[in-house]
Amino acid sequence: MFHNRPPAISREPRRIPMQDHNSDDRLHDHLLNIIAVSAGMLGVCLTAVGLIGVIKATAKIETLCDEILAATSFIYLGAAIISFVALRTPLRKRAIGLAFLVDVLFCLGLILTAVACGLLVMIVL
């Protein structure tokens, strides 16, 4: 017969999935994804700056959106460059620290992109 016993308690510390840097492959893949997405977002920002310039010229409006997106494109560029440096460094501890910096820059870029979009929608509508 089977006895209902409580599950064994594990003595190993619980790990948060995205903060578990035991796998070099996961860190490598994460940094590669940040490079690719940052480069894409940089292109989106530059395209939007050009389109906003056309809107400003034809509709005779003034907005800070293009300046915000231009600054944001440099943030995405910084995230991509630091991600590349983190991939090339032989020191794992340094790569983990750089990966944290890349994540912060990337999230800041996303926030600023959303702010610029919100301002643009308020002006256009």
Share of the chain above pLDDT 70, in %: 82
Could you count the other beta carbons within 10 Å of the beta carbon of residue 95?
A: 20
Asked whether residue 2 carries a pLDDT value surpassing 90, the answer given is: no
pLDDT: is 14 or 89 the higher one?
A: 89
Contact 34, 85 (CB under 8 A): no
Asked whether residue 72 carries a pLDDT value surpassing 70, the answer given is: yes
- Specify the pLDDT at position 17: 47
Contact 36, 44 (CB under 8 A): no
In this structure, which long-range contacts are made by residues 84-92, counting pairs with CB atoms below 8 Å and at least 24 apart in sequence?
84/31, 84/35, 86/31, 87/28, 87/31, 87/32, 87/35, 92/24
- Specify the pLDDT at position 16: 46
**pLDDT confidence bin for 13, thresholds 50/70/90:** low
